[in-house]
Structure 1
Amino acid sequence: MKIIIAGAGEVGFHLAKLLSYESQDIILIDTDKESLGYADTHLDIKVLKGDATSVSILKEANVANSDLVIGVTSSETTNITLCLLAKQLGCKRTIARISNTEFIDKKEEIRFADLGIDELISPEELAAEEIQLLLDQSAFNDSYEFENGALIMVGTSLQRTAPFVGKSVKDAASIFPELHFVPIAIQRFGTQYTLIPRGDTIFKEGDQAYFVTSKEGVDELYKLIGKTREEIKDVMILGGSKIGFKATRDLCCNKFKVKLIEINRNKAFDLADELPNALIINGDGRNVELLEEENIEEMDAFIAVTGNSETNIMSCLVAKSKNIKKTIALVENMDYFQLSHSIGIDTLINKKLLAANNIFRHIRKGEVVALTRLNNLNAEILEFIVKPSSAVTGKKIKNIDFPRSAIIGGVIRDNVGIIALGDFEIRAGDRVVVCSLPRSISKVEKLFL
């Protein structure tokens, strides 16, 4: 695919990096010479200095023959204008990063596709949604919903007390005869090695294990991993950033009791006006005395989303020392993901990764409607819509020539999530959730073309 990315900032660079691994034909456009220079020396892509909304620059990038144009500059106006121009000049698909989430809420009404924008994404909105989902599934440190929760992907670190540690996947499944979940990926403790589990794979203490489950299977999983579902109601959020604002707004709408700490006095007053259902505190969240004054030990969850990764991590560690049930930190550095479990923070979230996941499904072949990359794991989870012409149509799962380094996690049929085993027959119109290591993705894609 020929892909043009406008914006060599954090999201644009990370996206270009991921796509360059896929051997895509990438052109990165930006006005900043330094950012482009770094990308040019570190990635196998072409770079072009200039204004992405300049028609001459777009023509120089050969936009008429491009498959996808992605606007991820820091300017919402630039991204929208770029997509409108690119579509007029002949580009097949366009994606614009926005900060005003009202556009997403009203996209059916405004009909952005008619204007030339095929997809709108807001990394801040995605992060706020991720926080909500993580609080709903309190015992898990990673989660993702397919089709409004018809199937749910959850990840958890296996403790020694988990009933199935030391048992094989086959043995673990026999604990619950009515199987409502399937393990899809495991990362061994202390390694960067990701494996797709089979029947004889042994669960070990410290494994970061990922499962796909139906709504009914979530309670089974809690029992199986030896954890209890903690009710989370009282939440403290550090940082009145866009993510902090959106997360507070959404949690208040869902009847959570939220305290939000913001260091900037004027901003704190503005937030108090905009968020009447939350308690806004003007203060420095790095101050342990302030946290204690605000009864941090009585909170069920602590979420740090300031613009500083180190502040977020350190404040979460303070919260963890007060026996808070759930801690979530926003980080910019992808390398921190490898440290999250060893340093004791429940979950790290990253805007770049969330935005890249959302955009990535437009690059995949076949009818990919959802995609997520597992945090710190070398694996992808994709949701395909089965076509009448697909190679898997009308076949039982056990008869499909599926690569060993990929696995079907479940099937959504008529909006109902099904944990599909070997005798399940796939039909046209089914939505199939697949977990795959990178080396098998192209083979998996061919099965769903």
Structure 2
Amino acid sequence: MKIIIAGAGEVGFHLAKLLSYESQEITLIDPDKKGLAYADTHLDIRTVKGDATSIAILREARVDSCELFIAVTSSESINITVCVLAKQLGATKTIARISNTEFIHYKDEVGFTKFGIDELISPEALAAAEIELSLKQSSFDENYEFEDGALTMAGLTLPRSASFVGKTVKQAAEIFPEIHFVPIAIQRFGTQYTIIPRGNTKFKRGDTVVFITSEGGADELCRLTGKENRAIKDVMILGGSQIGYKTARDLSEKGFNAKLLEGNRDRAFEIADELTKVLVINSDGRNVDVLEEENIAQMDAFIAVGPNSETNIMSCLVAKSKGVKKTIALVENMDYFDLSHSIGIDTLINKKLLAANNIFRYIRRGEVVAMTKLSNLNAELLEFEVKANSAVCNKTIKSINFPITAIIGGVIRNGVGMIALGSFKIQEGDRVVVCCLLKSIKTVEKLFV
């Protein structure tokens, strides 16, 4: 696929890197020579120096043969303008990064597609939504919802107390036949290998296991693993960035008691004026004494979304040491994901990864509705819509020639999520959630084309 990315900032560069690994034909446009030079020497991509709003530059990038145009510069207005131009010059599909989430809310009413913009993404809004979901499913390390929670992905590390530790998947299914969850990926403790579980796969203490749950499955999973899905009410947020602001606003509107710490006086007063339900404190939240003065020990959750990843991590560790049960840190360095659980932080959020997940579904073949990469695991979760001519249509799961490194986690039919086992028959219009290792993605895609 021929893809053009406008903007070589942190999101653009990360996207170019991930997409180049997929052997896509990538062109990166940016006016900054230094940023382009780094990308040119580190990635197998083509670079074009110049202003992406220039028609001449877009033509130099061969926009007329572009299948996917992604505008992710730091300027919302530039991204919108560039996508409109790209569409008029022949780009098949366009995606614009925006910061004003009103555009997403009123997308259909305004009719952005009529202007030439097929999709709008806001990394900040995605991060705020991810934080909210992590608080909702507080006992799990990783979460993702399909179709507003019809099916939910939940990841956790198995403690010794888990009822099915030492048992195979088949044995666990026989002991707990009425459960509403199924394991879809396992990473053994101390290894980097991802296993797609089969009937004879044994659960072991310390395994990082990703499950798909239907309604009620999350509570069952907590009960069988000895986890407690604690109700979270009191939340402290460190940092008044766009993500901090959106998180505080959304949580306060949903009844949480939100307290936000912001060191910049002007920014703190600005947020306080706009968010009347949030207690905004103009103070440096990196100071342990300040955190104690603000009763951090009484908080149910601590969310660090400041501009510095290391500060966010250290602040979460301080919160943990004071007894806070749920900690969430915003990080920019992808390498930190491997360390998150070993150093004691519950959830890490990365804007670049969230944006990439949102965009990646457009390069997958088949009717991909949603997609997410599993943190620390060499696997993807894809939601496909079944068409009448799909190879899986009107077939039972056990009769489909599915690769051994992939598994169907569940099916959403008419808005209802179901854990689908071997005798389940897939129908046109079903939305099928599949977990697969990267090497089997192309094989899986062919089944849903």
Q: TM-score range by the shorter chain?
A: over 0.9
Query: Separation in 2 of the partners of 1:278 and 1:290?
Result: 18
**Matches of residues 39-188 of structure 1 in structure 2 within 5 Å?**
39-188=39-188
SS of 2:198's equivalent?
coil
Task: Establish whether residue 345 from structure 1 lines up as the match of residue 318 from structure 2.
Answer: no
Query: Separation in 2 of the partners of 1:376 and 1:77?
Result: 35
Amino acid at match of 2:391: A
How far does residue 401 in structure 1 lie from its aligned partner after superposition? 0.3
How far does residue 336 in structure 1 lie from its aligned partner after superposition? 0.2
Worse overlay, 115-124 or 9-18 = 9-18
TM-score (norm 1): 0.99
Query: Separation in 2 of the partners of 1:376 and 1:351?
Result: 16
| Aligned counterpart, 2:260 | 260
| Aligned counterpart, 1:323 | 323
Query: Separation in 1 of the partners of 2:193 and 2:318?
Result: 31
How far does residue 350 in structure 1 lie from its aligned partner after superposition? 0.2
How far does residue 173 in structure 1 lie from its aligned partner after superposition? 2.0
Amino acid at match of 1:278: V
1:164-186 Cα distance to aligned partner (Å, 9 max, x none): 22211112223321131110111
Query: Separation in 1 of the partners of 2:5 and 2:103?
Result: 21
1:200-230 Cα distance to aligned partner (Å, 9 max, x none): 1111122111000112211111112211220
Worse overlay, 167-176 or 193-202 = 167-176
| Fraction of identical pairs, as percent | 71
| Aligned counterpart, 1:251 | 251
Are 1:179 and 1:419, in contact at CA under 8 Å, matched by a contact in 2? no
SS of 1:341's equivalent?
coil
Which segments of 5 or more consecutive residues in structure 2 lack a partner in the other structure?
none
| Aligned counterpart, 1:372 | 372
4+ runs deviating over 6 angstroms: none
Worse overlay, 329-338 or 201-210 = 201-210
1:49-105 Cα distance to aligned partner (Å, 9 max, x none): 111111001111111111010000111111101100000001100000001111111
Query: Separation in 2 of the partners of 1:97 and 1:422?
Result: 41
Amino acid at match of 2:110: I
Query: Separation in 1 of the partners of 2:303 and 2:173?
Result: 34
| Aligned counterpart, 1:414 | 414
Amino acid at match of 2:223: K
Query: Separation in 2 of the partners of 1:30 and 1:95?
Result: 17
Task: Establish whether residue 230 from structure 1 lines up as the match of residue 230 from structure 2.
Answer: yes
SS of 1:178's equivalent?
coil
SS of 1:342's equivalent?
coil
Amino acid at match of 1:207: D
Query: Separation in 2 of the partners of 1:98 and 1:397?
Result: 40
Query: Separation in 2 of the partners of 1:63 and 1:262?
Result: 43
SS of 2:20's equivalent?
helix
| Aligned counterpart, 2:215 | 215
SS of 2:203's equivalent?
coil
SS of 1:41's equivalent?
helix
| Aligned counterpart, 2:430 | 430
Query: Separation in 1 of the partners of 2:175 and 2:291?
Result: 43
How far does residue 281 in structure 1 lie from its aligned partner after superposition? 0.6
Query: Separation in 2 of the partners of 1:81 and 1:205?
Result: 53
Query: Separation in 1 of the partners of 2:68 and 2:20?
Result: 14
Query: Separation in 1 of the partners of 2:442 and 2:147?
Result: 24
TM-score (norm 2): 0.99
Are 1:235 and 1:299, in contact at CA under 8 Å, matched by a contact in 2? yes
Query: Separation in 1 of the partners of 2:320 and 2:61?
Result: 50
SS of 2:407's equivalent?
strand
Amino acid at match of 1:46: R
SS of 2:342's equivalent?
helix
Query: Separation in 2 of the partners of 1:45 and 1:182?
Result: 40
Amino acid at match of 1:338: D
Which segments of 5 or more consecutive residues in structure 1 lack a partner in the other structure?
none
1:299-351 Cα distance to aligned partner (Å, 9 max, x none): 00000000000110000000001111100000000000000010000010100
| Aligned counterpart, 2:202 | 202
1:336-393 Cα distance to aligned partner (Å, 9 max, x none): 0000010000010100000000000111111001000011211100000000000001
Amino acid at match of 2:314: M
Query: Separation in 2 of the partners of 1:384 and 1:395?
Result: 15
Query: Separation in 2 of the partners of 1:189 and 1:273?
Result: 48
Query: Separation in 2 of the partners of 1:141 and 1:428?
Result: 34
Query: Separation in 1 of the partners of 2:330 and 2:370?
Result: 23
Query: Separation in 2 of the partners of 1:174 and 1:12?
Result: 48
Query: Separation in 1 of the partners of 2:399 and 2:367?
Result: 22
Query: Separation in 2 of the partners of 1:203 and 1:45?
Result: 42
1:251-298 Cα distance to aligned partner (Å, 9 max, x none): 001100010000001110001001100100111111111111110000
How far does residue 159 in structure 1 lie from its aligned partner after superposition? 1.3
Number of aligned residues: 449
| Aligned counterpart, 1:445 | 445
